[in-house]
Amino acid sequence: MAALFILVPFILLLILNLPFKFLKAPVAFWLSAALFLTQPLLVLIHPWFAWSNYPAALSRFLIFKLWLDPLALIMLFTIGIVVFVSLLVAKSTITTERRSFNFINLLLVSFIGMNATVLAADIFSLYVFVEITAVAVFVLMAIEKNRFAIEGTFKYLVLSMFASIFILTSIAFFILAAGEISFAGIHNAFLVNSNIILLNFAVALFLCGLFIKCGVVPFHGWVPDAYSEAQSAVSVLLAGIATKITGVYVLMRLFSSVFVLKDSFHNLIMLIGIISIVFAALAAFRQNNIKRMLSYSSISQVGYIVLAIGCATPLAILGAVLHFFNHAIFKSLLFVNAASLEKKFGSTDMSIITGLGNQLPVTSGTWLVGLLSTAGIPPLSGFWSKLIIIIALFNAQRFTYGWIALLASVLTLAYFLFMERNVFFIKTEAAPGDKGGVPFSLKFCEILLAAITIGVGLGFPFILNSQIFQLKGFLH
C-alpha cells in the first residue's frame, strides 16, 4: 500500500502531460491540489500499520523496497500539507498559464521525490530520490528569470553538487564495507564491527554532505540567497519542506536508527547544531529583508533539530521529530505571510513596507502566531518541541548545550519582535505602493497553518498519545 504514495502522483504526472487540449493549468491545479490534500487525510485516517502490508502486485512496479514506520508517516503528513500550501501560494502569485502549468509539473516531481525519499529502505535509492527532489527544486527556483534568483540557484547548485559527491563516495564506501545498501544490512555491518574504520570514514563523508544539504552553520552559505531570492511559492516549498526532507530527515533516519556511531560523532553533530542556533539567531538581527531574516531563523531552528539528533536519546529524537513537524508548519506560515506582504506591497524589504502590516489583519494575526511559536511561547506548538529537546539534553547530562539552547530562545524572541515592530506597528508617512488586496488562497493558507499551530499546541499531549502516529511506539 505504501507504494501508492509514489505511484499515484507519478501516474498523475504522466496523465497531465498527455497531449490533450483540456489538460491545462486549471485542471492540473485542481487534480494536484486534491492529491496533495488527500495524502495528509489518508495518513490521519489510517494508522501506520495499515500501510505496511501491501499486495505483492503493487511492489512489482518498483525495483526498490519500501519502509514505512510512524516517522515516515509524520513526514508524509507534513509533505502533503506544505506542498499543498505551496501550490495555493503559486496559484495567486504565478499569473501566466504556461508557467503555472510548468510549476505544477515540477512540484509534482519534487513531491514524488520527497515521498520516495521518506519511504526508501536502502541508502542508494535514498540518494537517488534526494537528487530528484533537488533537481526539481533547482528548476523551480530558476523559473523566476531574474539575476538574483539565478544567482541563488547557482549557489545552491554548486554546494549541492559537492554534497552529492560526498554522499555518493560515502555510499561507495558503504558498499565496500558492508557489501549491502539496505538499511538493515548497513546496520548489521556496524553491529558485526568489521571494517569499522572504513564505515566511520563513510559516515564522516555522508555527514559532510548532509550538513550542506541541511544548511547548518558553517555550511549555510546558500540558504539565505536560495530562500529569499526564489519566488514566494518556491520559498515556502524550499524552506518548509524540501531542504528539510533532503537534509534533516535523512540525517534523522540514518543517524538515529541505521548508523551506530562513536561518541565523537554525536559530539560533532551537537556542536554544529548549537553553533547554528546561536550564530544564525545573531545574524538574523541585522537583516533588513523579511525573507532573509526568516532564512536565518530557519537555519537556527534546524540547529535545534540537529542538536537533538546529535543527543540521540529517545526523548531527544522525539523532540527532533516534533520540532521538524512544528517548524515545517510555522515556517511555511511565516513565508506565506511574507508572500502576502509581497503581493500587497511588492516588496519584503522592511524599510519599504514599515508599518504597513496592520492594513492586513489576517496576515498580522497569523504572523504573530507563527513567530511566537518559533520563539517557543505556549500554548503554541513550538513550545512543546523546544521544551522536550531541552529536557532531553538535561536528562542526557548535556548541561552546557541545554543552557545555550535555552538562552538562544530569548534571542529568537527578540529578533522576531523587532521585525514585528518594524513591519507591523511603526507609523509611517510614506505612501505604500499598494498592489491590490491579498488573494483568498493566501489568506486560506495562513488561517489553515495558524490553526494547525494553535491546535497542535493545545492538543499536543493527546497527539503524542494518539494511535495514529504512535510516536512513543517509534521510540522503543
Partner 1 sequence: MIETFLLLLIVLPLISGVLSLILPRGWRGVCAVAASLANFLFAVYLFKKESIFVLPWAGFGIDFSLRLNHFSGFIILAASFFGLLISLYSLNFLKGKDSQRQFYTYLLISISFVNGAVLANNLVVLLFFWEALLLTQYGMIAIGGRQAFKTATKALIISGAADLCMMAGVILTGYLAKTLIISDISLSLNPLGSLAFILLAAGAISKAGSIPFHTWIPDAAEAAPLPFMAFFPAAIEKLLGIYFLARITLDIFKLNTNSMLSSLLMIIGALTILIAVMMALIQKDYKKLLSYHAISQVGYMILGIGTCLPAGIIGGIFHMINHALYKCGLFLTGGSVEKQTGTTDLAKLGGLSSSMPVTFICFLITAASISGVWPFNGFFSKELIYDAALERGKVFYLAAILGSFFTAASFLKLGHTAFLGKAGQKYKEAPVLMLIPMVILALTCVIFGVFNRLPINNFIQPILGAGAHGHDFSGMPDNFMLVIVTIIVLLAAFLHHFIAVRINGGAIKAAEHIHRAPVLSIIYLWAEKKYFDPYEMGIKLIDKIAKIFWRIDRGIDWVYGSLVTNLTFALSRTIHKIQAGYYIIYVIWSLAGAFLVILFVLR
Shortest distance, position 287 Cβ to partner 1, whole Å: 9
Three-state SS letters, the chain? CCCHHHHHHHHHHHHHCCCCCCCCHHHHHHHHHHHHHHHHHHHHHCCCHHHHCCCHHHHCCCCCCECCCHHHHHHHHHHHHHHHHHHHHHHHHCCCHHHHHHHHHHHHHHHHHHHHHHHECEHHHHHHHHHHHHHHHHHHHHHCCCHHHHHHHHHHHHHHHHHHHHHHHHHHHHHHHHCCCEHHHHHHHHHHCCCHHHHHHHHHHHHHHHHHHHCCCCCCCCHHHHHHHCCHHHHHHHHHHHHHHHHHHHHHHHHHHHCCCCHHHHHHHHHHHHHHHHHHHHHHCCCCEHHHHHHHHHHHHHHHHHHHHHHCCHHHHHHHHHHHHHHHHHHHHHHHHHHHHHHHHCCCEHHHHCCCHHHCHHHHHHHHHHHHHHHCCCCCHHHHHHHHHHHHHHHCCCHHHHHHHHHHHHHHHHHHHHHHHHHHHCCCCCCCCCCCCCCHHHHHHHHHHHHHHHHHHHHHHHHHHCCCCCHHHHHC
Q: Could you say which residues in the range 97-136 bind partner 1, by CB under 8 A?
A: none
* 461 near partner 1, judged by CB under 8 A: yes
* 445 near partner 1, judged by CB under 8 A: no
* 163 near partner 1, judged by CB under 8 A: no
* 138 near partner 1, judged by CB under 8 A: no
Nearer CB in complex with partner 1: 194/288? 288
Nearer CB in complex with partner 1: 44/315? 315
Name the grid cell of 106.
Answer: 515540477
* 409 near partner 1, judged by CB under 8 A: yes
Site string for partner 1, 165-204 (x = CB under 8 A): ----------------------------------------
* 155 near partner 1, judged by CB under 8 A: yes
Nearer CB in complex with partner 1: 58/150? 150
Q: Could you say which residues in the range 21-60 bind partner 1, by CB under 8 A?
A: none
> In 91-117, which positions are buried (b, 16+ CB within 10 angstroms) versus exposed (e)?
bbbbeeeebbbbbbbbbbbbbbbbbbb
Phi, psi of 346 (to 5 degrees): 75, 10
Please identify which residue in 427, 429, 436, 476 interacts with partner 1, judged by CB under 8 A: 427
Q: Could you say which residues in the range 217-256 bind partner 1, by CB under 8 A?
A: 217-218, 220-222, 224-225
Please identify which residue in 158, 172, 176, 192 interacts with partner 1, judged by CB under 8 A: 158
The answer to whether the beta carbons of residues 317 and 252 sit under 8 Å apart is yes
Please identify which residue in 414, 432, 441, 468 interacts with partner 1, judged by CB under 8 A: 414
Nearer CB in complex with partner 1: 113/357? 357
Shortest distance, position 283 Cβ to partner 1, whole Å: 4
Of residues 281, 275, 287, the one with CA closest to residue 228:
287
Please identify which residue in 33, 260, 391, 468 interacts with partner 1, judged by CB under 8 A: 391
* 379 near partner 1, judged by CB under 8 A: yes
* 211 near partner 1, judged by CB under 8 A: no
Please identify which residue in 404, 420, 447, 466 interacts with partner 1, judged by CB under 8 A: 420
Instruction: Give the binding range for partner 1 (CB under 8 A) out of 182-190, 258-266, 327-335, 401-409.
Output: 401-409
Distances (CA, A) of 366 to 85, 285, 330, 370, 443: 15, 21, 10, 6, 9
Amino acid at 101: F
Instruction: Give the binding range for partner 1 (CB under 8 A) out of 34-42, 64-72, 153-161, 197-205.
Output: 153-161
Q: Please work out the total of residues on this chain that contact partner 1, with binding judged by CB under 8 A.
A: 51
Nearer CB in complex with partner 1: 129/279? 279
* 406 near partner 1, judged by CB under 8 A: yes
Shortest distance, position 462 Cβ to partner 1, whole Å: 8
Shortest distance, position 230 Cβ to partner 1, whole Å: 16
* 377 near partner 1, judged by CB under 8 A: yes
Q: Could you say which residues in the range 291-350 bind partner 1, by CB under 8 A?
A: 315
Cα–Cα distance, 281 to 372 (Å, whole number)? 15
Shortest distance, position 270 Cβ to partner 1, whole Å: 17
Shortest distance, position 64 Cβ to partner 1, whole Å: 33
Instruction: Give the binding range for partner 1 (CB under 8 A) out of 40-48, 111-119, 257-265, 369-377.
Output: 369-377
Residues that bind partner 1 (CB under 8 A): 154-155, 158-159, 217-218, 220-222, 224-225, 279, 282-283, 285-286, 315, 372, 375, 377-379, 383-384, 387, 390-391, 394-395, 402-403, 406-407, 409-411, 413-414, 417-418, 420-421, 424-425, 427, 460-462, 464-465, 472
